[in-house]
Structure 1
Amino acid sequence: MKALILKRYGGPDQVDFADIERPTIKDDEILVRVHAVGLNPIDNMIPKGDFKPIIKLRLPATMGSDLAGVVVETGSRVTRFKVGDAVFASLFDLGRGSLAEFAAVPEHAAALKPANLDFVQAASIPMVGLTSWQAVAGRAAVKPGQKVFIPAGSGGIGTFAIQLAKHLGAIVGTTTSTANVALVRELGADEVVDYKEQAFEQVLHGYDAVLGTIKGDGLEKALRIVKPGSAVVSLIGPPDAAFARRRGMNLLLRLVFSLLSRKIIGLAKRRDAQYSFLFVRADGKQLAGIGDLLAQGRIRPVIDKVFPFAQAREGLAYLETGRARGKVVVRLVDA
């Protein structure tokens, strides 16, 4: 079968198409004919080696994590799915990839595709949906009436997280460019700062939770808008010692991550805020809950561009520009 693979660490020039063996599934896995794959910023970060200490890959490795497709084979212990089921899933951090004609998917990582979504729409959801769910509803435990700051509201995470936070009853603040103000307001953002015109830390205040999604000094600036007792959940780092312990890392890496996160943790404590680093995990049950919200129309996918499989590298390059409004998706099967 054809797959987009990472040959070795180094950059985009190490990512190319190859013919590889079709996966053989285990007893607790399903084999999925992949119809579409959602791309995520981490798909461009992994080839550079940014996550080598955290994500262990056996190279060459198939790229991608989000997928939507149809079950063509089930393992002997699989009970939730049957051949012919349309599913969507995240393979992130499971040692396998989705940018291929077929993918072996652990049963616990998959959920039935919402019937009202096509495969492209469904493939856009898993990473951003699970990340938002685990950060906003889980780690930050956002309650109705609380204020949540979700920067970069027109991006992949932002477009989903704004909708989820509003579903939870939160008041949502965000940043975006002039051209995307209308989009984020339509998604439910209450306080919108055009970062080309204003500095958000000078406009917003009294926030109960912050979602860290932007590299640079954005997280430190966001600490100026939180109130005592707030939760600061970062998706972009720095990783902390608690994260290293959860992953069973050695003492050296725990020390390294402790040193990397010392400054931001100290700044958070001065504001009586709690900092933590979130690394999304695959979870089919949570994905099924997200699917229910999508089926009910409470949250909708936001997709910028769709690339054919032959142009998957072009899709990754477009995502790398940072200009996408919502998600970028690769289509493998026309439907």
Structure 2
Amino acid sequence: MKAVRIHQYGGREVLSLDEIPVPDIAPDEVLVRVVAASINPVDWKVRAGYLAQMMPHRMPLTLGWDVSGVVAAVGSQVTQWQVGDAVYSRPDLARNGTYAEFVAIRPGECARKPRTISHVEAASLPLAGITAWEAMMDTARVRAGQRVLVHAGSGGVGSLAIQLVKAAGATVAATASGRNRALVESLGVDQFVDYTTTTLLHAVEPVDAVFDTIGGEVQEASWSLLKPGGIQVSIISPPDEARAAAMGVRGGFVFIGPNAPVLDKLAGMVDGGRLRPIVGAEFALEDIAQAHALSESGRAVGKIVLYVGKP
């Protein structure tokens, strides 16, 4: 099978399209034929070695930790899945990933693919969807009547967070570049903030929660937007607990793992017409370097998806 692997850490030049054997599966694993995978910043951070101390990988390593596909084989101990089932997953980051024609996954990390969307759209959901859910629903515990600020609302995570928060009955302000205004407004935001022309402090009324997807100066500027007792949740860097306590607010940090129960909830929302994934670009497996370049640019709209095989 074809797989994109790295044999050492480095830049995009270390990405290698290799021909390797189809993985053997253990009795407690499923083999998934990959139809589509998607690109996440963690992919190129792993590739570059930024996370090597936190998560040491054995080389060569197949990258990619989002997938939508079809079960091709099941281990002898697997009872919840059958050959032919359409599934999607954010598998374990410590294992070989999904930039490949087949991937071995633990069955508990898979969920049934949403029925009403394509594999390409489904592949864009797992990591970003779990991240948005755990940040907004589990950590911030957003509820009806609250006001929330989502940064980078046109991105893969931000676009889903907007929809989750709206579905919860909250009011949403979101930042993005003016060129993405139509997209962000189509997701149901109550206030669009063009970060290229507007100062946050003057544009946004106090909020109950901030979703920080950018870090740095944006995280720092967002503290002053919180109501007393409010929370800023980041997926970039842990917020300063001392700073939060001094201001009478809270901070939270989210780094996700596999979460099939959340994937089941997301699939239900998709099939119920309450959540739609945004796919901004598609690439073939052999064009992986271009896909990584777009992700690293920080200018991607929605998710970047790799088309790997036929449905």
TM-score range, shorter chain: over 0.9
In structure 1, what is the Cα distance between the partners aligned to 2:201 and 2:184? 19
Q: CA deviation at 1:151?
A: 0.3
Counterpart CA distance in 1 for 2:117 and 2:242 is: 44
The gaps in structure 1 that reach 5 residues or longer are: 239-260
Q: Which amino acid aligns with 1:53?
A: Q
Normalized against structure 2, the TM-score is what?
Answer: 0.96
Once the 2 structures are TM-superposed, how far is the Cα of residue 92 of structure 1 from its aligned partner?
4.3
Residue of structure 2 aligned with 1:302, choices 273, 278, 281: 278
State TM-score, norm by structure 1: 0.90
- SS in structure 2 of the partner of residue 217 of structure 1: helix
Q: What does 1:71-86 align with in structure 2 at a 5 Å threshold?
A: 71-86=71-86
In the alignment, the residues of structure 2 paired with residue 203 and residue 44 of structure 1 have an alpha-carbon distance, to the nearest angstrom, of 34
TM-fit CA distance, 1:291: 0.5
For 1:162, the equivalent position in structure 2 comes to 162
* Aligned pair partner of 1:281 in 257, 264, 275: 257
Q: Which moves more between the two structures, 76-85 or 157-166? A: 76-85
- The answer to whether structure 1 residue 117 and structure 2 residue 117 are counterparts is yes
Which stretch of the first structure deviates more once superposed, 271-280 or 121-130? 271-280
Q: Which residues of 2 match residues 9-24 of structure 1 at below 5 A?
A: 9-24=9-24
Give the secondary-structure state (helix, strand or coil) at the position aligned to 2:252: strand
1:269 paired residue among 242, 245, 254: 245
State how far apart, in whole Å, the 2-side matches of 1:8 and 1:128 are: 26
CA distance, structure 2, for counterparts of residue 47 and residue 116 of structure 1: 33
Q: How many Å separate the matches in 2 of 1:291 and 1:123?
A: 12
Checking the alignment, whether the CA contact within 8 Å between 1:167 and 1:298 is kept in structure 2 is yes
Aligned length: 311
Question: How far apart, CA to CA, are the structure 2 residues paired with 1:19 and 1:202?
Answer: 55
Per-residue CA deviations over 1:95-128 (Å, capped at 9, x if unaligned) read: 2200011000111111111111111011010011
Partner of 2:287: 311
Q: Quote how far apart the aligned CAs of 1:310 are.
A: 1.5
Give the residue type in structure 1 aligned to 2:123: A
Deviation of the 1:10 alpha carbon: 2.1
**Runs of 5+ consecutive residues of structure 2 not aligned to the other structure:** none
The more displaced of 4-13 and 151-160 is 4-13
Contact 2:13/2:289, CA 8 A, preserved across alignment: no
1:317 aligned counterpart, secondary structure: helix
| CA distance in 1: counterparts of 2:18 and 2:126, whole angstroms | 25
Identity %: 37
CA deviations 1:232-283 (Å, max 9, x no partner) are 2110114xxxxxxxxxxxxxxxxxxxxxx6xx22221122122122111111
Quick check: 1:321 aligned with 2:306?
no
Q: Which deviates more, 269-278 or 29-38?
A: 269-278
Confirm or deny that 1:32 pairs with 2:68: no
**Regions of 4+ moved over 3 Å:** none
Q: Find the partner of 1:290 among 249, 266, 269.
A: 266
Shift, 1:175, TM fit: 0.6
CA contact (8 A) 1:212 1:234 kept: yes
2:184 aligned partner: 184
Over aligned residue pairs, what C-alpha RMSD do you find?
A: 1.3
Post-superposition Cα deviations, 1:222-241, rounded to whole Å, max 9, x if no partner, equal: 11100111122110114xxx
- How far off its partner does 1:207 sit? 1.1
